[in-house]
Amino acid sequence: RKEVEQDPGPFNVPEGATVAFNCTYSNSASQSFFWYRQDCRKEPKLLMSVYSSGNEDGRFTAQLNRASQYISLLIRDSKLSDSATYLCAGGASGGSYIPTFGRGTSLIVHP
């Protein structure tokens, strides 16, 4: 089983919709979690960290559920420019807390 797993999608939503992605992790000792955004043929870019109490950045909300070992990303009022692949990162590798990445969830926002 991969340490971090995501539904690859694609999630195909209209502009203005609310969409949520989940990402499960297998290591219960995981400490650090992040969401990255990757545009086609570009590098991943840090979108936001995920804090235990949940956190919000504009239209984006990230949450952590330790009991069920998943993190989530909620995007409200989707824009065409939100179309991208969203990678979650988390877990620990040999106790070093270096995050490992999921395969990504593809989001397509259409007019």
Partner 1 sequence: DAGVIQSPRHEVTEMGQEVTLRCKPISGHDYLFWYRQTMMRGLELLIYFNNNVPIDDSGMPEDRFSAKMPNASFSTLKIQPSEPRDSAVYFCASSPSARSQYFGPGTRLTVL
Binding footprint of partner 1 on the chain (CB under 8 A):
32, 34, 42-46, 49, 87, 93-94, 96-104
Within its chain, how far is the Cα of 91 from the centroid?
Answer: 13
Residue 29 is encoded by which pair of tokens? 């000792």
Q: CA–CA separation, 2 vs 107, rounded Å?
A: 22
As measured in angstroms, the least distance from the Cβ of 5 to partner 1 is 10
As measured in angstroms, the least distance from the Cβ of 24 to partner 1 is 15
As measured in angstroms, the least distance from the Cβ of 40 to partner 1 is 12
* Nearest residue (CB) to partner 1, 14 versus 94: 94
Pairing of strands 11-14, 105-110: parallel
